[in-house]
Amino acid sequence: MSCLIACLYTSSQLAPLSLPPLSPPPPLPSSSPTLLLDKRLPANGVSTKKQLKPFAPTVTTKNLSSDPSSYKTPNSSFQISPQNPSPTKMAHDHSDSVFTNITRAPEDPILGVTVAYNKDSDPSKLNLGVGAYRTEEGKPLVLNVVRQAEQKLVNDPSRVKEYLPIVGLADFNKCSAKLIFGADSPAIQENRVATVQCLSGTGSLRVGGEFLAKHYHERTVYIPQPTWGNHPKIFTLAGLSVKSYRYYDPATRGLDFQGLLEDLGNAPSGAIVLLHACAHNPTGVDPTIEKWEQIRQLMRSKALLPFFDSAYQGFASGSLDADAQPVRMFVADGGECFAAQSYAKNMGLYGERVGALSIVCKTADVASRVESQLKLVIRPMYSNPPLHGASIVATILKDSNLYNEWTVELKAMADRIISMRKQLLEALQARGTPGDWTHIIKQIGMFTFTGLNSEQVAFMTKEYHIYMTSDGRISMAGLSTKTIPHLADAMHAAVTSMA
């Protein structure tokens, strides 16, 4: 702060004319420096007689709930209220903190499950919260192809650590677009796709949201009900207004297709629609290809803008191409389309934060102008993306041997999850657990949406040290043959003791 003050003070542009530019200010007390700063310096460097209010913000954050209607725009969700910190208070007296009145935010509904799990010392504890793949031994998996790619990168002395361009690694962007849209996609061949490397799936969604809020005429985005808990927060904070469309029917534990068509049919023309490309999170329920075709026709007839979130390509069916089919159907009709890709799950690159946002446009000219504006979104946000993860992905996608090996490893992960589904169903049936549990094998992807309620989940956590999200979602990728009996015991007890 003192450096900032000194800089401001000696800056000929910002210093008030009434003060000698080079004379040092008297020493500032350690408390309330902003108060004194405000008294000395005019707002924005423009000389003014108006006395500024002491700036001592109290930031109150609203707890973000999963109800999209409860979100506010960034400007309205924070309150700044003046305080009067006393300069005579001792530095160690915390009551004079400018953040004294800050409220404690709740843990994230998904990542907070891991925080709670880590605090539990019980040896039987099981983390089925976050969607992160584990081996049969319960260990995180680094894919063999990733190790090989990293080795190649380390052994290449020509590699440097320079900044990437704002849009990221060119090879990575090219390969990512091919992976989602297909190598023979006319949109790619006609240069109608603007692709930018972003910070995994979340960052890609956020950059896409910010771009839409700035440049698109319709500010409403429709998200499925339910959806990944971060979607409403990402889009609200990007400046869009979030509404939901019916997606899941708890009675059938399947798709509420009628509700979906009705809600999208009633959406205003041009509205943005968030679609899970495959392996819908949290329900594990995907439309069939025939239903996707009906959704596509309805959306195009109403000029609704598709925004695909593709966080699980390869995890639904074990095939990268099959899982991209819905996205490719929308691109094949020549219309516009957004796609946010993540390599967190399908390459196991969770912490490397590697993903891409692609915007398919109608002409190459529009695509290049869109890309130029994406750069203006990214530059002030994080300047340019990280190099390492994107280099790993590009190395694998460019090399046909590594690519083929990747598809084998990916299929093995998808198959292990499918085998966990079968084993859990059998374990519940063996225990005679009341209810029909066949949805466990019908659902697709990393998660089973069990139908357990939040009280039953709390019971399983308390009595069995099983950690999962309160909506009853289980990460099947966190299970193993060894841990399934423990989970089945817990589910059986929860269902029979608190129906």
For residue 34, give the amino acid letter. T
Cβ density class 167-186: b for 16+ within 10 Å, e for less: bbbeebbbbbbbbbbbeebe
Tell whether the torsion through CA atoms of 370, 371, 374 and 379 is positive or negative: negative
From the number of C-beta atoms within 10 Å of its C-beta (0-12, 13-18, 19+), residue 129 rates as buried
* Residues contacting 221, CB < 8 A, separation 6+: 209, 212, 235, 240, 241, 242, 243, 271, 272, 273, 274, 307
Please say whether the beta carbons of 366 and 332 come within 8 A.
no
| In the complex, least distance from residue 478 CB atom to ligand KET, rounded to whole angstroms | 10
Q: With respect to ligand KET, which residue has the nearer C-beta, 276 or 421?
A: 276
Strand partners, 359: 194, 338
What amino acid positions are annotated as catalytic residues?
228, 309, 345
C-alpha dihedral, 192 to 287 to 445 to 314, nearest 10°: -30
Please say whether the beta carbons of 371 and 167 come within 8 A.
yes
Q: With respect to ligand KET, which residue has the nearer C-beta, 339 or 440?
A: 339
Please say whether the beta carbons of 284 and 444 come within 8 A.
yes
Q: With respect to ligand KET, which residue has the nearer C-beta, 15 or 238?
A: 238
How far CA 477 is from CA of 140, 141, 420, 494, in Å, comes to 10, 11, 8, 22
| In the complex, least distance from residue 344 CB atom to ligand KET, rounded to whole angstroms | 4
| In the complex, least distance from residue 315 CB atom to ligand KET, rounded to whole angstroms | 10
| In the complex, least distance from residue 350 CB atom to ligand KET, rounded to whole angstroms | 6
Q: With respect to ligand KET, which residue has the nearer C-beta, 315 or 437?
A: 315
The footprint of ligand KET (CB under 6 A) covers 110, 130-131, 200-202, 228, 230, 276, 281, 309, 311, 342, 344, 350, 355
Q: With respect to ligand KET, which residue has the nearer C-beta, 309 or 371?
A: 309
Please say whether the beta carbons of 237 and 203 come within 8 A.
no
- How many whole angstroms separate alpha carbon 185 and alpha carbon 193? 10
Estimate to the nearest angstrom the gap between the alpha carbon of 264 and the chain centroid: 23
Q: With respect to ligand KET, which residue has the nearer C-beta, 110 or 360?
A: 110
